[in-house]
Amino acid sequence: MKTTLTNTESWKSLEKHFDEIEHVSIKTLFENDKNRGQQLVVKDEGIYFDFSKHRITGETLKLLSQLLENRDFDNQRQAMFSGEKINITEKRAVLHTALRAPKGSTILVDGRNVVPDVHAVLDKMSGFANKIRNGEWKGHSGKTIKTIINIGIGGSDLGPVMAYEALKYFSIRSLDFRFVSNVDGSDFAEAVEGLRADETLFIISSKTFTTLETMANAQTARQWALKNLGDESAIAKHFVAVSTNEKEVTRFGIDPQNMFGFWDWVGGRYSMSAAIGLSTMIAIGPENYHEMLAGLHKMDEHFRTAPVEKNIPVIMALLGVWYNNFFGAETQAVFPYDKYLHRFPAYLQQLTMESMGKHVTIGGDIVDYQTGAIYWGEPGTNGQHSFYQLIHQGTKLIPVDFIGFKESLNLLPPHQDYLIANMIAQGEALAFGKTADEVRAEGVAEEMVSHKVFVGNRPSSTFFLDKLSPENLGKLVAMYEHCVFVQGVIWNINPFDQMGVELGKVLAQNIIPELQNGEKPLHHDSSTNALIEFYREK
Ligand code: G6Q
């Protein structure tokens, strides 16, 4: 039996429309409408979003919008913003938007206004961040802190790493920031290489404070600190926690005074604007951090209020569905033309793929359509000299998001002109390509012509902003967060749980004692048994 998405009238209309448009080229679309490049653009919130180089017409957008509206989009969006428990598998509200709601607003969860709680934590974070930044916070032996190490994984790592790297230009250079996530001991060992414990502060970031990797790294950090500082009482000066689990934080030995809380209505991968952003705030300072929050909030408001045809995250999501479900595209590339955004694609991988990697609907039925795309990317222009070849002349359709800024934070003419010329040129080449006649006109020998033809017709969006400020980073993050939400509505899946990461965790817990104690007999499949035995032979 078909699920209710693919047997809707909207879906069937899209299938029919796809048959009409599948072979229409972007070039033809531009020839038919001389103003296309100005018309299929949204300019809002300081973002110039050009979606003209897509294999769509006005009719495509109309049909995709109808599909969305028929999924009860308005009510579902309202339900998220107002704190309804839309994460039904975990029975939780989804309120990362409350984390950047201005002081004085009201958002109720179980009858309680959570906005004052959010601001109380932000104020506590600011006080602490300032003390670290101005040297007022002293370590156990009275020295000022020089290095901050965030220990966390997944949502408690990728956001902080990405934001620190993205906003490094604004960061305090007298402090060194490091991040430990992997349970591989080399990660910790390299992070503390050359450091003095009496000048190091660990932020243990874990929503649950039970995650194996983070707890193992936190315990190792504790031993390292104690070995070098020699005294249990030193822990209070060198360890703080970001968590929702005060009991476990206390049990670990961190003073709850030095704990920064958040709430179960913040999903891990949506938590970089919760206290999980403590390392970011220390790095860039409370003022810049609040600017980032303001950018997130501006995009929240844009998403909440802009009409569908002018709504950036909505259009992004609709385009994603169009390529994913009708053209059969498997991946979505994201290429920031800014070195500082080099961890942005990795951050987006978790945001999109952990959210959209679902094969059952909210009601538990197996879907009969494709859900989440594979997100990937690297900063330009390095990618151009590597994998772009496959996008230009390979056999796969890969929609691309280009992200660029008019101004560089580092004024070194002519670098920015070169960088942005490359970004714009890539979108042009992908869309319009180069025909055999154009290649011949360049005097290319006939046997080489087919090698030099660019078929074109490869879609891309371009996001242009003035510069990579904290506020603009906030807007970009919220833009992708809401794109994920919209796709979740269309596919009728829950973008806010992550059951898929659980099984491996449980199985690892079974295997740990088998590796350590040499238990026999093993009861796994023959491959797993053999791998365990091979490891034990060392
Ligand atoms: C994110 C996931 C996951 C989570 C990590 C860390 O949405 O839930 O990536 O963030 O497993 O969890 P803790 O913060 O609880 O350690």
With the most atoms of ligand 1 within 8 angstroms of its CB, the residue from 205, 209, 211 to mutate is 211
Q: Is the pLDDT of residue 520 over 90?
A: no
- Ligand 1 pocket residue status of 207, Cβ below 6 Å: yes
Quickly state the pLDDT bin for 52 (edges 50, 70, 90): very high
- Ligand 1 pocket residue status of 206, Cβ below 6 Å: yes
Catalytic residue among 34, 385, 451, 520: 385
Distance, first Cα to last Cα, the chain: 53
Q: Write down how long the chain is.
A: 538
Rounded to an integer, what distance in angstroms lies between the CA atom of residue 152 and that of residue 275?
13
Mean pLDDT of 497-526: 90
CA of 273 to the centre of ligand 1 (A): 14
User: Catalytic site residue 354?
Assistant: yes
Which residue, among 255, 293, 258, 259, has the nearest Cα to 274 in the 3D structure?
A: 293
Task: Output the pTM of the full model.
Answer: 0.97
Which residue type is seen at 156?
Answer: S
With the most atoms of ligand 1 within 8 angstroms of its CB, the residue from 87, 207, 484 to mutate is 207
Quickly state the pLDDT bin for 231 (edges 50, 70, 90): confident
Contact 260, 240 (CB under 8 A): yes
Rounded percentage of the chain residues whose pLDDT exceeds 90: 96
CA of 509 to the centre of ligand 1 (A): 17
Which residue, among 156, 148, 467, 481, has the nearest Cα to 284 in the 3D structure?
A: 148
Minimum mean pLDDT among 180-189, 355-364, 499-508: which range?
A: 499-508
Give the pairing of strands 331-336 and 400-405. Answer: parallel
Q: Is the pLDDT of residue 8 over 90?
A: yes
CA of 133 to the centre of ligand 1 (A): 28
- Ligand 1 pocket residue status of 181, Cβ below 6 Å: no
- Tokens for 374, please give them: 């594979």
CA of 155 to the centre of ligand 1 (A): 5
Q: Is the pLDDT of residue 2 over 70?
A: no
Q: What is the DSSP letter of 101?
A: P
Contact 175, 202 (CB under 8 A): no
Quickly state the pLDDT bin for 125 (edges 50, 70, 90): very high
- Ligand 1 pocket residue status of 208, Cβ below 6 Å: yes
Q: Is the pLDDT of residue 89 over 60?
A: yes
CA of 344 to the centre of ligand 1 (A): 18
Rounded to an integer, what distance in angstroms lies between the CA atom of residue 424 and that of residue 413?
18
User: Catalytic site residue 428?
Assistant: no
Q: Is the pLDDT of residue 518 over 90?
A: no
Strand partners, 238: none
Tell me the backbone φ, ψ of residue 260, rounded to 5 degrees: -115, 120
pLDDT for the residue 506 = 86
- Tokens for 424, please give them: 């714009």
CA of 271 to the centre of ligand 1 (A): 9
Catalytic residue among 354, 471, 481, 514: 354
Catalytic residue among 22, 287, 505, 533: 505
pLDDT digits (tens, 9 = 90+) for 330-339: 999 999 999 9
Minimum mean pLDDT among 145-159, 327-341, 499-513: which range?
A: 499-513
Rounded to an integer, what distance in angstroms lies between the CA atom of residue 424 and that of residue 232?
57
Sorted by sequence, the CB contacts under 8 Å of residue 451 that are 6+ apart come out as none
- Ligand 1 pocket residue status of 354, Cβ below 6 Å: yes
Q: Is the pLDDT of residue 82 over 70?
A: yes
pLDDT for the residue 519 = 81
Rounded to an integer, what distance in angstroms lies between the CA atom of residue 143 and that of residue 137?
9
* Residue of the CA atom closest to atom 1 of ligand 1: 268
Rounded percentage of the chain residues whose pLDDT exceeds 70: 99
Contact 439, 29 (CB under 8 A): no
Give, in order, the Cα–Cα distances in Å from 512 to each of 212, 221, 505, 523. Answer: 11, 21, 11, 14
Contact 114, 97 (CB under 8 A): no
Q: Which has the higher per-residue pLDDT, 3 or 278?
A: 278
Mean pLDDT of 401-413: 97
Question: For residue 529, what is the enclosing H or E element?
Answer: helix 526-536
User: Catalytic site residue 297?
Assistant: no
